[in-house]
A and B are shown apart, each in its own frame.
Chain A
Amino acid sequence: MERIIVCLKPVPDPKQWDEVSMDPETQTLIREGIASVINPLDKHAIEAALSIQGVLGGEVVLLSMAPPSAASTLREGLAMGADRAVLLSDRMFAGSDTLATAHVLAAGCRWLGDNDLIICGNMSIDGSTAQVGSQLAELLDLPNIMHVIDLDLGEDGSMVVTRKIEHGFARLRGALPLVISVRKELNKPRYTSFTGILAAESKEIKVLSNEDLKISPEVIGIDGSPTKMAGIELRRFERAREKLDGSVDEIVESLAGRIYQYGII
């Protein structure tokens, strides 16, 4: 094994999502003061890479398209045990949809050279599109498998992967190089040790801009994204909110009455 790439997305900490508000003028989300964390499923991707590295060697490289401030999030991944990180950062990338993002990540993969395995989290917790893994694979002309819940590496360089399907699973065998997207059932991400945190301080985070990657502006950023935002709103849930009062018996009587009215019984 020469190199395993883990694609990593810094996401706003889900614990603070209640603090998101919207600017009614610009129709953009105000997310100031919300910390970034590693997308939860990407930790499972890092864990998978590290455990494969433990058996077959090679280096584990974290790859991310994000603003320069994401370096601290990448540092957390390095503290888990990844060897180095590459941060793809350029104003030209801002506003990229999933296809444009895949173009940027694909350029990052090519910049790194020959890669045996590229591992992504199955979806991000903020956008939740689950589209980038398949699109990255297509742009690199590599096969890919999503929804991965188990994997075994053969000595012949093949990989046997178990993926979820409706009400069951499928097992597949693929040759490397391969792109896989993993679910949380695959493994339990390791805890970061104090020595891991110390070691991460001296690990390299290489920042590349589009001067290094030279991607056509026509396929990246807001202008290069085929999908456009046509509107955004905070979701509101409005219901009658009628509170039933009285003794438990009265409440039960009243509940059964409603259920009867609804035509259920």
Chain B
Amino acid sequence: MSGDMNGIWVFAEQRGGELHEVSLELLGKARELADEAGKKVTAILLGHDIRSLSQLLLNHGADSVLVGDDPRLKTYRLIPYARVMASLVHTYDPEILLMGATYMGVELAPRVAAKVRTGLSAHCIDLRLGEKGQLLQVVPGWGGGVIATIACPDHRPQMATVMPGIMKALSAIEREDTVKEIEIDLPEKGLGPEVLEVKREKPDQLPLEKAEVVVAGGWGIGSQEDWKMIESLAELFGGSVGATRPPVDEGWAEEGQMIGQSGKTVRPKLYIGIGISGVMHHVVGMDQSEHIITINSDPDAEIFDTSDVIVVEDFRKVVPKLIDEIRARLKK
């Protein structure tokens, strides 16, 4: 049995019984890599009372699920999670282990990699197979202006974290496969910090990574009042509002709306960038969008290099009229 579970692993991240989207996205990529390499995909699911999630993982591309269900794993704690992951790796010896570059994954993956003394690459934007089953991990560096390909030739598993929103989840197919419960063996003490409180709020807009249309604003918007124009335009499309760093610093937008190297990566059908200069830090978070329209009064704005359609004009003149025009067309 374990012979089928030493292929490509995906850490299925859940909080409060809710699966993080990136887990399904990673399964999609893992499935593609596994089919190419003739390997199996195994999802690792840790928590408490979470067995029902295994079906979802199977339906989205896993051949098997290893479930660690234990009250001590109910709320994420780094030390117990890292111990369990490392002992699973030792037992099954997987080729590849993929995790989401989420708040949890960014903390957990390096700890696991250090425990099993293997290599880990961070925030991958692409994964490919190279010679001899090597996982080629494509990562941005230097604010995204440089793309490096990383390999881990002599250590296993080959570990990588991937930003949410980059890989595509497969559409669900009802499948029956293996779900295997694992024994959780943890000591009484030495499990690190205890969790006192977890507070999560439902975001009030569609997650940026999921929006079909993203309207993003930059420093050029100039004021909280004009920022409302950005929000109105996004609302018209049922889209989400994104931002560069300055609007977040100014308080016009929330931290979670930031697009770029230190924020979200978006690949919407349409990205509209307004008053954005186009520094590399932002561009790497949006350059994979299907269509890119940008509006900036500065004819030399760098963002134009990454645009399909360019408008050199004061957005205060263009956007209100565009809102009216779109509204009129929607009414037809």
Contacts and interface: CB of A to CB of B under 8 A. Distances in A.
Contact of B312 (A233, A243, A262): A243
Contact of B325 (A132, A161, A173, A252): A252
A251 B147 contact: no
B206 interface: no
A264 B212 contact: yes
A134 B195 contact: no
Interface string A157-176: 00011011111111111110
**A interface, by DSSP: helix, strand, loop or mixed?**
mixed
Contacts of B293: 255, 258-259
B146 A166 contact: no
A227 B119 contact: yes
A29 to B, nearest CB: 7
Interface stretch (B63-71, B90-98, B280-288): B280-288
Contacts of B173: none
Contacts, number: 243
A243 B119 CA distance: 46
B111 A165 contact: no
Contacts of A241: 304-305, 307-308, 310
A164 B280 CA distance: 25
Contact of A235 (B256, B284, B290, B309): B284
B201 A167 contact: yes
B118 A128 contact: no
Nearest to A256: B325
A144 interface: yes
A255 B310 CA distance: 10
Given A131-B120, A145-B193, A265-B329, A226 B309 contact: no
Contact of B195 (A137, A170, A259): A170
Contacts of B154: 226
A207 interface: no
Given A256-B325, A262-B270, A99 B114 contact: yes
Given A17-B142, A130-B122, A255 B308 contact: no
Using C-beta atoms within 8 Å of the partner chain, give the interface range for chain A: 35 or more
B194 A172 contact: yes
Interface stretch (B29-37, B47-55, B177-185, B313-321): B313-321
A126 interface: yes
B151 interface: yes
Contacts of B115: 138
A264 B153 CA distance: 45
Contacts of A258: 291, 293, 309
B15 A165 contact: yes
B307 A165 contact: no
A265 B326 contact: yes
A161 B195 CA distance: 10
A228 interface: yes
A230 B150 contact: yes
B145 interface: yes
A134 B237 contact: no
Interface in A152-199: 160-161, 163-175, 178
B110 A264 contact: no
B195 A166 contact: no
Contact of A146 (B107, B199, B290): B107
B172 interface: no
Contacts of B149: 229-232
B301 to A, nearest CB: 11
A161 B141 contact: no
Contact of B118 (A226, A237, A255, A260): A226
Interface of A: 12, 14, 17, 20, 22, 29, 97-99, 102, 123, 125-135, 137-139, 143-147, 160-161, 163-175, 178, 225-235, 237, 239-244, 248-249, 251-253, 255-256, 258-260, 262-265
Given A131-B122, A143-B193, A243-B312, 13 more contacts: A20-B142, A20-B145, A98-B110, A98-B122, A131-B120, A134-B110, A135-B113, A167-B202, A167-B203, A226-B118, A232-B149, A239-B308, A251-B313
| 8 A-B pairs with the lowest CB-CB distances in the bound complex, closest first | A226-B119, A174-B193, A143-B192, A168-B200, A227-B119, A129-B122, A138-B114, A131-B110
Interface of B: 15, 20, 78-79, 82, 102-104, 106-111, 113-115, 117-123, 130, 136, 140-155, 192-203, 212-213, 237, 256, 261-262, 269-270, 280, 283-284, 287, 290-293, 304-313, 317-318, 321-322, 325-326, 329-330
17 contacts: A20-B146, A102-B114, A128-B123, A128-B140, A128-B143, A131-B110, A131-B122, A134-B108, A135-B111, A147-B107, A172-B194, A226-B152, A231-B149, A235-B145, A241-B310, A248-B321, A262-B291
